[in-house]
Amino acid sequence: MVEKRLSTDVLVIGGGLAGCFAAVKAAEAGAKVILSDKNYCGKSGNSHFARDMMLFREEWGDNFKNWLDQFISIGEYVNNRDWDEVIIKESYPRYRDLVSWGIPFYRKRGMKGTPGSDHPYGNAVLSDDVGFPEPEEEPFRYHHQRTKYRKSTAIIKFGIRHKMMVCRKKVLSTGATILDRVMITDLLTHNGKVSGAAGFNTVTGDFYIIEAKAVVIATGSLTFRPSYYGIQFNAGEGMTMAYRAGAELTGMEFGSGMWVTKECDSVCINGPVAELGMTHDSVTNGLGEEFLDAGAHLPTNIHWPLEVHKGNGPIYHEPYGYDRNEHKEAIEKYNETAEGPWITMLDRAGIDIFNDRFEQYMCFLGNIFPGGVKINTNCETSMPGLYAAGDSSGTNFTGPTYATLGSGMCSAKCSRLCKRRDTFSTHTRRG
């Protein structure tokens, strides 16, 4: 085992969307940057499975008050409205960043079918055009299945699955250094200020001591390795090391759940088929009754356990009733661009979602969206020299549960980290 000592202006811990954004923005602001990832940046972590992100723009007819009201309602009126405004209004510049990095999205010009209010997303039926929209060009956007509480926000879909490899390439292009398979375990402090971090290479065992003028925690959320795939990497180590160093946490009493298919470790949420624009998802209780629209404001992931507690379980997903051969090309394209080949995974489990009724249950994930290391709207924690971004940051933007914003929105949660050139000035100014 070899001891390695490094020095940098900014150390980013975590190589997902939030970590890559933090590294790129810091490097573009003139800082020397090291990004460490406990696995391989670009091929691990929750961001690899992100399929979409929320996108707001008033020029396309979006109403800020309506969007904010939806956040507040879903957030049980305890969410941080300052951060809600950041998330909503900075979604467009973050989207344009991703396009400029080389990440394509589904385009509206490929829309097929006729929009209608009876469609589950209240938008176009389907798009098969993937590319790089122009700045003023509205991409293909769809709404979540409309319910009494969810009526406003619009989502765009990533056009490739390997988007994180594009992010890795962008990080390297700025001159930042990436340390793959370096597991950071502890923050270093000096005179009440975070001054770096320590960890080890998971392959060689080499010990790393990294001195830094600013440290960014971007290690994802705290989960309990549930069956919902893609988040088994999120062990909460960033929150833990920040807490041990003296940083405040927030929202840790809240948790999130996701409805998974009982016979396999896959998720079936308002699609896959609804995202192809074919029909809406029909979810019923043990009495054969649809129940998702029963509450005025509750997120759908709350309805599942409530229905079971009422004694109306188990919960079933009804078959779509379509001839999959008629939509073969669309399904193949979805499998290529979604965060995971859901339909293929279900097929391998012996479940034909087009013809079979299958059981689902609510899986407790952990503190994946609501809580984290407490930060202000400049992403500063209570510890000088320590910042947080993405799902490891505690913004309270979503309240006690998942606000269904789109799984790529963690990037917006670090947009203010290096928005101004002087954000790290007290820690990173050279000379």
Please give the pLDDT value at position 431. 28
pLDDT average, residue stretch 129-136: 90
Which residue matches tokens 């997902």? 16
When computed from its CA atoms, the radius of gyration of the chain, rounded to whole angstroms, is 21
| Encoded amino acid at 232, one letter | Q
Question: How do beta strands 207-217 and 386-388 pair?
Answer: parallel
Q: Does domain 256-364 have CATH number 2.40.160?
A: no
Helices first, then strands: H and E counts in the chain = 10, 22
Identify whether the C-beta of residue 181 lies closer than 8 Å to the C-beta of residue 201: yes
pTM listed for this prediction? 0.88
Task: Name beta bridge partners: 96.
Answer: none
Cβ-based neighbours of 120, under 8 Å, separated by 6 or more: 145, 146, 270, 274, 279, 280, 281
pLDDT band at 122 (very low <50, low <70, confident <90, very high): very low
- Pairwise CA distance, residues 75 & 297, whole Å: 9
pLDDT band at 189 (very low <50, low <70, confident <90, very high): very high
Count other C-beta atoms under 10 Å from residue 355's C-beta.
12
Asked if the model's pLDDT at residue 417 lies above 60, the reply is: no
pLDDT tens, position by position, 355-396: 888 888 887 777 777 789 999 988 999 999 999 998 899 888
pLDDT tens, position by position, 234-293: 889 999 999 999 999 998 888 777 778 888 766 655 555 555 555 566 789 999 998 876
Identify whether the C-beta of residue 147 lies closer than 8 Å to the C-beta of residue 300: yes
The domains of the chain are located at: 3-107+144-254+368-428, 256-364
Task: Report helix angle 64-74 to 81-89, nearest 10.
Answer: 130
Q: Does domain 3-107+144-254+368-428 have CATH number 3.50.50.60?
A: yes
**What are 313's two structure tokens?**
């379980």
Beta strands of 55-171 (E only): which ranges? 105-106, 111-112, 126-127, 130-131, 141-143, 154-157
Which residue matches tokens 């954000």? 423
Through-space distance between the first and last CA atoms of the chain, rounded to whole angstroms: 35
Identify whether the C-beta of residue 124 lies closer than 8 Å to the C-beta of residue 110: no
- Pairwise CA distance, residues 362 & 63, whole Å: 33
pLDDT average, residue stretch 344-353: 82
- Pairwise CA distance, residues 315 & 282, whole Å: 11
pLDDT average, residue stretch 95-114: 84
pLDDT tens, position by position, 18-75: 999 999 999 999 999 999 999 999 988 888 877 788 899 999 999 999 888 888 887 8
pLDDT average, residue stretch 102-122: 65
Residue 121's φ and ψ, nearest 5 degrees, are: -100, 0
Identify whether the C-beta of residue 98 lies closer than 8 Å to the C-beta of residue 111: no
DSSP 134-154: -TT--B-EEEPPP-SS--S-E
Identify whether the C-beta of residue 147 lies closer than 8 Å to the C-beta of residue 74: no
Mean pLDDT over each residue of the chain, to the nearest integer: 81
- Pairwise CA distance, residues 251 & 206, whole Å: 35
Cβ-based neighbours of 34, under 8 Å, separated by 6 or more: 6, 8, 10, 11, 12, 176, 177, 178, 179, 210, 212
